Amino acid sequence: MKKDQNQLTWLMVSLIAFNMVWGLGNVVNNYSQQGISVIVSWILILAIYFIPYALIVGQLGSTFKESGGGVSDWVEKTSTKRLAYFAAWTYWVVHIPYLAQKPQGVLIPLGWVLQGNGDFLSSLDIHWIVILSLLIFGAFLYLSTKGLSTLKVIGGLAGSAMLIMSFLFVLLAVGAPFIKPDMQFATANMDKLSTYIPNFDFSYFTTISLLVFAVGGAEKISPYVNQTRNPAKEFPKGMIVMAVMVGASAILGSLAMGMLFDGSNIPEDLMRNGAYQAFQMLGNYWGVGNVLVVIYALTNMVGQIAALAFSIDAPLQIMLNNADEEFVPSWLRKRTSKGVLINGYILTGILVSLLIILPIFGIKEIDGLVKWMTNLNSIVMPMRYLWVFLAYMMLNKAWKKYKDAEYKFTKNPKVGFAIGAWCFLFTAFACILGMVPKVDFAKDPAGWQFSLLTNILTPIVLISLGVILPLLAKRERKQSLKQ
């Protein structure tokens, strides 16, 4: 049986990992923040952060190959149960902004499918967008309690189709000048190296959280470490190949964006409509009209729906499946006769709904909403990566206990601890600077203040809720002892 299980090659590992980590949205979102100079940023982030991150996950996965709880199990085995609880809480709670953004991810492609342009949400008042988002989220929150296994399978296929579309986008853009020799690149001086060098000022560093967000999530790869034929050789090779694939997609995708959109004059709606407009332009160049736009919009919409359904249930199950009664009160662990974590769903519904409603107090239109929500996710979501690096640091402190893992990123525990500390501090640095609003204060002082306040308070409130639960659990235990 073991021989049959350990049959993944480095190529299979790299493809699985690439599918988990990458998407065209990563290219569009970061181009909209940095323009064509994002190419150098991609090279830097891959070298100093992403490759070490992926290989750290490999060692943790190999060391704790029997752990089903992922990051929280790694933290528990290398530190304490209390920290493991906070790791599990963080993993769940960072999905709240992610879920709050998903209804927009359904509405935007729906508008492109129905109208063939991005005007659908532009014409709607922010209040109507909020109402529609609440209805979409509410519907899928309810449906998730009934089980959506078929939709999740379809969503997996849509995710694979999205990867194909990402590759197709690069191929069509690179090939466009050959079939249209008179094509004018939107970004000037793309043949000069100076065009690609970022201006490393304070404003630049406030955008790196989105890069970290884009390359994060490698901890999902950990179950595959010990399913390779030779973990010590196959897994790191697969990770490096995956990093090369991500780098090639990021760089070529950003070059393609530079050909189609002026990197020094980014359109306001690029984060919302950029991918669709790009496929529309390429469709016209290649003589297929809006076919590419419709295919991309449909696959994106189905993928977003599946991600919404899956991300309601999966993180909740991870947090509460093996929840310790010392930290989580019984009412939150309550299940229906069908096994549904009913109060967990209610808590999810309340928190996500509040975050969906919040923009009516400081955002006026859809593009501002998309930018705010995307940047908020880039601040909150990487917080879960901090626990990966903490677990790796603690693993290296207890090196003698865990030195027999099949795969080791580094054989020197001091070097390993330093690498883990670097990744931890870099992630924290990116999250903190990411809180600086991406709104022009002179044009919209109220929007700037709203963004700053919510960017700071949202992660604080979400993590603080995790501090309250152990207090409620302690009170519950005291009351049961009195009885």
CA distance 116 to 214: 28
pLDDT single digits (tens) 290-303: 899 999 999 888 88
Element (H, E) at 164: helix 149-179
Tell whether the model's pLDDT for residue 482 goes beyond 80: no
Question: How far does Cα 220 stand from its chain's mean position?
Answer: 12
Give the pLDDT of residue 254: 95
Give the pLDDT of residue 478: 85
Integer-rounded Cα radius of gyration of the chain: 23
Residue 322 in 3-state DSSP?
A: coil
Tell whether the model's pLDDT for residue 155 goes beyond 70: no
Residue 410, C-beta contacts closer than 8 angstroms, at least 6 positions apart: 416, 419
Give the residue extent of every domain in the chain.
Answer: 10-481
Tell whether the model's pLDDT for residue 184 goes beyond 50: yes
Give the pLDDT of residue 3: 46
Q: Which of 137, 157, 162 is nearest to 309 (CA)?
A: 137
Question: How far does Cα 110 stand from its chain's mean position?
Answer: 22
Backbone angles phi, psi at 268, to 5 degrees: -60, -30
Which amino acid makes up residue 377?
Answer: N
pLDDT tier, 150 (very low <50, low <70, confident <90, very high otherwise): low
Element (H, E) at 470: helix 445-482
Helix then strand then coil, in percent of the chain rounded to 5, is 75, 0, 25
- Check residue 409 and report its DSSP letter: S
Tell whether the model's pLDDT for residue 67 goes beyond 80: no
Backbone angles phi, psi at 437, to 5 degrees: -60, 150
Q: Which of 62, 60, 88 is nearest to 74 (CA)?
A: 60
Tell whether the model's pLDDT for residue 177 goes beyond 60: yes
Section 444-453 average pLDDT: 92
Q: How many CA atoms are closer than 13 Å to the CA of 360, on its beta-carbon side?
A: 15
Section 48-52 average pLDDT: 94
pLDDT tier, 444 (very low <50, low <70, confident <90, very high otherwise): confident
Which amino acid makes up residue 246?
Answer: V
CA 340 to each of CA 166, 310, 349: distance values in angstroms, whole numbers, following the listed order: 36, 14, 14
Question: How far does Cα 238 stand from its chain's mean position?
Answer: 21
Give the pLDDT of residue 17: 80
Tell me which fold the domain 10-481 belongs to. Answer: Amino acid/polyamine transporter I (1.20.1740)
Q: Which of 81, 66, 17, 55 is nearest to 392 (CA)?
A: 55
Give the pLDDT of residue 220: 77
pLDDT single digits (tens) 335-392: 888 888 899 999 999 999 999 999 999 998 899 999 999 999 999 999 999 999 999 9
User: Is residue 9 exposed (0-12), middle (13-18) or buried (19+ Cβ within 10 Å)?
Assistant: middle
Section 55-68 average pLDDT: 81
Tell whether the model's pLDDT for residue 476 goes beyond 70: yes
Q: Which residue has the tokens 């010590």?
A: 232
Residue 388 in 3-state DSSP?
A: helix
Section 113-124 average pLDDT: 88
pLDDT tier, 1 (very low <50, low <70, confident <90, very high otherwise): very low
Which of these ranges, 6-20, 75-89, 242-256, has the smallest mean pLDDT? 6-20
Give the pLDDT of residue 312: 85
Cβ-contact 98, 311 below 8 angstroms = yes
Q: In whole numbers, what is the pLDDT of the chain averaged over residues?
A: 88
